[in-house]
């Protein structure tokens, strides 16, 4: 099948604009720092859970606060994705 150069050019431009729009939306929706923060908080939570529990209740408080922080980060990610 033979296509004209004009049709190929128009098709390429339309595809480029479409991919640019998709790429920009994806870049905006991707929240790398938020995901990194959540990963770091999850790692901290894992460390707190395996720590020796003789900390006068402070370890348990820290676990609860880190879980709250993870929840807040998740809510922020969800809000930013809208």
Instruction: Convert the pLDDT of each residue in 37-52 to its tens digit.
Output: 999 999 999 999 999 9
Q: Are residues 67 and 49 in the same domain?
A: yes
Residues with Cβ within 8 Å of 51's Cβ and at least 6 positions away in sequence, in order, are 59
Q: Are residues 25 and 36 in the same domain?
A: no
The band of 30, judged by pLDDT with boundaries at 50, 70 and 90, is confident
The band of 24, judged by pLDDT with boundaries at 50, 70 and 90, is very low
Q: What is the pLDDT of residue 2?
A: 56
3/58 Cα distance (integer angstroms): 72
Q: Are residues 9 and 38 in the same domain?
A: no
Backbone angles phi, psi at 14, to 5 degrees: -60, -45
Q: Are residues 36 and 11 in the same domain?
A: no
Q: What's the structural domain count of the chain?
A: 2
Domain range for 24 is 1-30
Q: Are residues 13 and 53 in the same domain?
A: no
Q: Are residues 42 and 24 in the same domain?
A: no
């Amino acid at each position: 099948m033979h296509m004209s150069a004009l049709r190929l050019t128009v098709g390429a431009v339309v595809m480029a604009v479409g991919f640019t729009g998709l790429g920009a939306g994806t870049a905006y929706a991707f929240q790398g720092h938020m995901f990194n923060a959540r990963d770091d908080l999850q790692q901290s939570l894992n460390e707190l859970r395996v720590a020796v529990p003789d900390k006068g209740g402070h370890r348990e408080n820290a676990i609860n606060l880190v879980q709250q922080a993870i929840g807040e980060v998740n809510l922020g990610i969800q809000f930013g994705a809208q």
